Structure 1
């Protein structure tokens, strides 16, 4: 399974895609600790992203984080990515980061 980082908002969320699914990695800052959640998007959320782009992901992450601040993590707990999916997301992030650094260095 080839995973790619397709959109992100630095230090807040990252959106990944493989052949069949979309995945969202969210950082929830609870002031004393930041928890990271790797989630699988539903088909409805994927359609929203395909039609509305980043705005749909921004609204989704805001809703999840607002619920987490109220102590409700159920929106995130119900859709956790499997360990092999999380591993693929981490690998895609590292590849994206290495590529970004290479592009940054070549622009000097």
Structure 2
């Protein structure tokens, strides 16, 4: 992952949410459910190889071509950030999956 700061901020936010859930519900099971949900959400949004998924959904089954670097290109240089492109199908898939997961998590947390 090129930007570790984003992962760190996400994990700190998850820890804060877990603390709030723990103080509110006094349930270790609900805190652990929050941890599991949060880690899966972070893993699904922050960690994927966006160069691969930043294409139309129909091309996800085909391999990604790697651009050839010039011979004098330094090996330590960070990759150039690619702009996040909006694809409606990908956005709908993410919204449905994360919306359903958030709903189930909230129903579990709010139950007595």
Q: With structure 1 as the length reference, what TM-score do the two structures score?
A: 0.32
> Which structure carries more strand by proportion?
1
In our comparison, the structure showing a higher alpha carbon Rg is 2
Higher relative contact order (CA 8 A, sep 6+): 2
| TM-score with structure 2 setting the length | 0.31
Richer in helix (by share): 2
